[in-house]
Amino acid sequence: MHEPGTATREAFTAPVTHMSASLDGTGACIAHARRLAAGFLADVHAAGVRSVAPSAVDLVQLVLSELVTNAVKYAPGPIVMELRIVGEQVEVVVRDCDPVLPAARAAEAGRVGGHGLEIVVRIADSFEARREPVGKRITARLSLGGTA
């Protein structure tokens, strides 16, 4: 089975600290992004670069899933995801071609759906949305210790 998108890692001889992947923008790329994140964090942990709590893997997959889902839903075309180890955190970056920045809505107990960005902002140590020359870049940082 062909996986949607391709992934690369910086310098195969250096410790694993960064990975990026091009995703095709279809619904299948959401699960692919989650698998790539789990594999990357397992490699980081196994290589002794940083200790990665199992709950951190779950939280990174959740954040990545929400951000990629939004990109699939609102931005036609390919998506780029990046993961970087920055100190004791992992930086999760999702880029797409839509220049409209996302905005978390106010919490409404009766609302069905539309809570993804609220979740991301709540569990991330930091969150930033920035326009780029083409589209936007969404960045969330999470602790490798896995606190939420």
Structural domain boundaries, residue 48: 18-143
Q: Is residue 6 part of a domain?
A: no
Q: Is residue 9 part of a domain?
A: no
| Spans in the chain with pLDDT lower than 50 | 1-4, 9-13
The pLDDT mean for the chain works out to 88
Q: Is residue 106 part of a domain?
A: yes
pLDDT at 12: 44
Distance CA 134, CA 119 (A): 26
Q: Is residue 58 part of a domain?
A: yes
Handedness of CA 15, 40, 116, 30 (dihedral sign): positive
The pLDDT tens digits for 111-136 are: 666 678 888 999 999 999 999 999 99
Task: Give me the number of domains the chain comprises.
Answer: 1
Torsion of CA 81, 93, 138, 1, to 10 degrees: 20
pLDDT at 103: 80
What's the N-to-C CA distance of the chain in angstroms?
35
pLDDT at 91: 98
CATH number of the domain encompassing residue 125:
3.30.565.10
